[in-house]
């Protein structure tokens, strides 16, 4: 069983859609895939959350949410406000390990890589370390993404984890000069390859259209056909065309 942690550089960068894209491609290839959300915050009981989005977009129904809290806070903080316990290292690792028979288990983080899950300070990076999982970094496209991506990648390296690359989680339809420049700069800052860029409206597509978008937007290492060099060339050409 292969385990991949999908970690964002922060909130709102497209982790859930990237997770769904990998799940969709894996399912379409006839491989067994499970998706784990160790802690979901900011969602009331019974309300659709990240795993519902993954299921709708990918068709995968092997979905596992270990804890949910109503306040939109870091998991450990949200659990404290809710007056309940939170899943720690042992519970998360045991749940993933029990998913025998799957070809791939995707673990979607909550917020950034070093957000605390319990009072012991467990992070999704610690979970990756225990499980021997690679970490895929999902980054934003715009201003400010270079520093947080570099910091996230450095945290991955210092823990001896393998970085599976960087995916731009929401590529704008009309990218500005910052986003276009970041296509070249992100892999340099991360010291890891750019392995995808998903269009910003991908989460609104129907399942088959989403699968096509996923294949176009993710690299062969993730089951798709995305070519970083071609994408960088295309955005550089766009830069020339829009220049005065």
Confidence at residue 3, expressed as pLDDT on a 0 to 100 scale: 97
Q: Which two tokens stand for residue 216?
A: 């176009």
Rounded distance between C-alpha atoms, residue 214 and residue 222, angstroms: 10
| DSSP type of residue 218 | B
Q: Which two tokens stand for residue 45?
A: 């009981």
Using alpha carbons, select from 234, 99, 112 the residue that is nearest to residue 175: 234
Using alpha carbons, select from 1, 15, 5 the residue that is nearest to residue 135: 5
Confidence at residue 1, expressed as pLDDT on a 0 to 100 scale: 78
The full set of domains in the chain, from first to last, is: 2-242 (3.40.50.300)
- Dump pLDDT digits (tens) for 30-85: 999 999 999 999 988 888 899 999 999 999 999 999 999 999 999 999 999 998 88
Confidence at residue 72, expressed as pLDDT on a 0 to 100 scale: 93
Using alpha carbons, select from 12, 1, 3, 52 the residue that is nearest to residue 148: 12
Using alpha carbons, select from 165, 177, 169 the residue that is nearest to residue 235: 177
Rounded distance between C-alpha atoms, residue 33 and residue 241, angstroms: 42
Active site residue 37: yes
Q: Which residue has the tokens 């989680």?
A: 169
- Active-site option among 2, 15, 37, 234: 37
- SS3 of 227, please? coil
Confidence at residue 162, expressed as pLDDT on a 0 to 100 scale: 97
Residues of the chain with pLDDT under 70: 238-244
Confidence at residue 235, expressed as pLDDT on a 0 to 100 scale: 86
What is the rounded (10 degree) CA torsion for 21, 95, 65, 82? Answer: -140
Contact between 73 and 86 (Cβ < 8 Å)? no
Strands 2-8 and 68-69 turn out to be unpaired
Confidence at residue 66, expressed as pLDDT on a 0 to 100 scale: 94
H or E element that contains 23: helix 15-28
Q: Which two tokens stand for residue 155?
A: 């945290």
């Amino acid at each position: 069983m292969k385990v991949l942690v999908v970690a964002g550089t922060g909130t709102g960068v497209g982790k859930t859609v990237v997770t769904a894209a990998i799940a969709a491609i894996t399912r379409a290839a006839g491989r067994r895939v499970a998706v784990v959300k160790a802690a979901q915050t900011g969602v009331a009981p019974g309300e659709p959350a990240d795993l519902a989005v993954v299921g709708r977009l990918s068709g995968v129904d092997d979905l596992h949410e270990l804890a949910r809290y109503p306040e939109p806070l870091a998991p450990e903080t949200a659990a404290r406000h809710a007056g309940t316990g939170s899943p720690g290292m042992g519970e998360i690792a045991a749940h993933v390990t029990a998913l025998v028979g799957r070809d791939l288990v995707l673990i979607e983080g909550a917020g950034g890589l070093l957000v605390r899950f319990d009072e012991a300070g467990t992070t999704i990076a610690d979970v990756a370390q225990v499980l021997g999982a690679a970490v895929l970094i999902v980054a934003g496209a715009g201003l400010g993404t270079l520093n947080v991506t570099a910091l996230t990648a450095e945290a991955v390296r210092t823990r001896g984890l393998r970085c599976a690359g960087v995916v731009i989680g929401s590529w704008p339809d009309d990218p500005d000069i910052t986003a276009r420049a970041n296509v070249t700069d992100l892999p340099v800052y991360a010291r890891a390859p750019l392995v995808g860029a998903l269009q910003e409206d991908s989460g609104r597509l129907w399942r088959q259209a989403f699968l096509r978008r996923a294949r176009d937007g993710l690299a062969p290492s993730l089951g798709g056909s995305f070519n970083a060099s071609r994408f960088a060339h295309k955005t550089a050409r766009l830069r020339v065309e829009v220049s005065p």
